[in-house]
């Protein structure tokens, strides 16, 4: 997203990937049945958006705060795994979409875990 105003967390590749993932899910859930609007659709959208939101919110605090917010992002990513699996089992998304979601979530959770490990080393000093 282009803007005349810049925030440091927007430079983080983990944040950028999380933003893209949230938009992918936003497109996918538009195909879900209307009776899922306040159920799985809402849950999946909120969980996928929560990954980037927690990264952004935590980045402005102390190392310990950022570490904790990254933990929240990690939990949201795992919630997305379940949401994607449910969507696949209910035939709302295909196997390829589910596999791509899982690939992206694997990448995101590895990045989150790695960043948390780096921050933890700074906290321990």
- Please report the domains of the chain, with CATH numbers, ordered by start residue: 13-28+36-124 (1.20.1440.60)
Single pTM value for the model = 0.94
Write down the pLDDT at residue 60. Answer: 93
Q: For residue range 32-73, what is the model confidence (pLDDT) as tens digits?
A: 999 999 999 999 999 999 999 999 999 999 999 999 999 999
Find all residues with CB under 8 Å of 3, minimum gap 6, and list them.
Answer: none
Rg of the chain over Cα atoms, rounded to whole angstroms, equals 15
Write down the pLDDT at residue 2. Answer: 76
- Asked if residue 114 has pLDDT above 80, the reply is yes
Instruction: Taking residues 16-23, report their average pLDDT.
Output: 98
- Asked if residue 1 has pLDDT above 70, the reply is no
Instruction: Taking residues 20-38, report their average pLDDT.
Output: 96
Instruction: Taking residues 93-111, report their average pLDDT.
Output: 98
Torsion of CA 39, 100, 78, 46, to 10 degrees: -40
Instruction: Taking residues 106-119, report their average pLDDT.
Output: 98
Query: Measured between alpha carbons, how far is 22 from 20 in angstroms, rounded to an integer?
Result: 5
Query: Measured between alpha carbons, how far is 63 from 102 in angstroms, rounded to an integer?
Result: 28
Identify how many contiguous H helices and E strands the chain contains and give both numbers: 4, 0
Write down the pLDDT at residue 81. Answer: 98
């Amino acid at each position: 997203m282009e803007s005349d105003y810049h925030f440091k967390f927007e430079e983080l590749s983990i944040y950028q990937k999380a933003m893209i993932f949230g938009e992918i899910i936003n497109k996918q859930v538009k195909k879900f049945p209307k009776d899922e609007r306040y159920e799985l659709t809402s849950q999946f959208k909120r969980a996928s958006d929560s990954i980037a939101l927690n990264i952004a919110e935590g980045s402005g605090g102390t190392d310990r705060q950022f570490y904790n917010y990254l933990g929240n992002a990690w939990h949201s990513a795992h919630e997305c795994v379940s949401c994607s699996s449910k969507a696949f089992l209910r035939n709302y998304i295909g196997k390829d979409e589910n596999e791509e979601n899982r690939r992206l979530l694997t990448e995101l959770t590895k990045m989150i875990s790695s960043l948390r490990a780096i921050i933890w080393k700074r906290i321990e000093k």
